[in-house]
Amino acid sequence: MYAIVEIAGQQFKVEKDQKLYVHRLSAEEGAKVEFDKVLLTDDGKKVQVGAPVVDGVKVTAKVLSHLKDDTVIVFKKKRRKSFKKRNGHRQFLSQIQIEDIK
């Protein structure tokens, strides 16, 4: 069984016991989190598509850790103008594990 869930403004295809990285959640490490914006569910026999969400379905997950992603370098340059600009960015992430799809 899998579901498509909106978590922190992004859509993810999730299954039970799957680990994934999402944008930083406000929950503490070890806390359980519920996501109720389920857009689609599939149990192998029946597919439910929401308009916009499927009623009565929730996905529960556990926050494993909070961390920072790898550095992304943003480099800008203009030819013949002696203009160079270099910026770096590290995104804050949360690692979660899907526990159940109800």
pLDDT in tens, 50-84: 999 999 999 999 999 999 999 999 999 999 999 99
Task: Give the span between the Cα atoms of 15 and 4, in whole angstroms.
Answer: 9
Phi-psi sector, 85: left (phi>0), alpha (psi -120 to 50), beta:
beta
Prediction pTM value: 0.86
Say what the pLDDT of residue 69 is: 97
